[in-house]
């Protein structure tokens, strides 16, 4: 994967551990594998996620 995409070993390790990576890394992976983001990602609801409060920077409407 590193050779095909140019993604660093550290980023690949993060993927393996289920840690967050940047969108730029995801795009590099897609370009290297000639696929779309929807081919390598899945939107999963996080039941433990905390919704930002209205009026905060995270909760801007």
Q: What confidence score (pLDDT) does residue 32 get? A: 95
Contacts (Cβ under 8 Å, ≥6 apart) of 23: none
The region of weakest confidence among 2-6, 13-17, 41-45 is: 41-45
Residue 33 pLDDT level (bands cut at 50, 70, 90): very high
The pLDDT of residue 29 is 94
What pTM did the predictor assign?
Answer: 0.65
Residues 41-46 have a mean pLDDT of 77
pLDDT digits (tens, 9 = 90+) for 14-25: 989 989 999 999
């Amino acid at each position: 994967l590193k050779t095909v995409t140019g993604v660093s070993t550290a980023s690949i390790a993060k993927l393996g551990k289920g840690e967050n990576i940047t969108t730029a890394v995801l795009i590099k992976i897609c370009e290297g594998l000639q696929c779309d983001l929807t081919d390598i990602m899945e939107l999963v609801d996080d039941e433990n996620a905390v919704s930002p409060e209205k009026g905060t920077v995270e909760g801007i409407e």
